[in-house]
Amino acid sequence: MKTGIIVGSNERSRLTYAAMSTVIVSSIGDEVYVFLTMDAVKGFTKNPEVKSEDISSKTMVEKKEEDYISLFRKAKKSGKVKIYACSYASKLFGYTKDDYSDIVDEIAGITTFSMDVEGGQIISVW
């Protein structure tokens, strides 16, 4: 089965939820395609910009919980996870592939993501 996860926020708690979902779904053997769009792309640059304004995010920082990047790294070890940075959002913020963390596989459009996930389920994290 295939699962697509669309992430549109750079709020720590939402990024962590998306990462946990990716770990779980890929660990049961499903392919996972993560599409980072709008503010979410900011959380995946080499110098990430992440919001920690909600209570959950603040608590995660205080308790030094595992961060979303390391969770995505774990998921990618399965070989079943692909992470796209939205081409529109990348252009909007002036990011190139070199600006992104190594866990981002490529800059792509929503069409590429949709074709990869065709027939699968979609989870949206905003």
Q: What is the CATH number of the domain that holds 97?
A: 3.40.1260.10
How large is the angle between the packed helices 12-27 and 68-76, nearest 10 degrees? 20
Q: Which residues of the chain have pLDDT under 50?
A: none
Domain span at residue 67 reads 2-125
Q: Among 41, 52, 54, which Cα is nearest to 100's?
A: 41
Number of domains in the chain: 1
Residue with tokens 């252009």: 91
pLDDT at 74 (0 to 100): 97
pTM of the predicted model as reported, rounded to 2 decimal places: 0.96
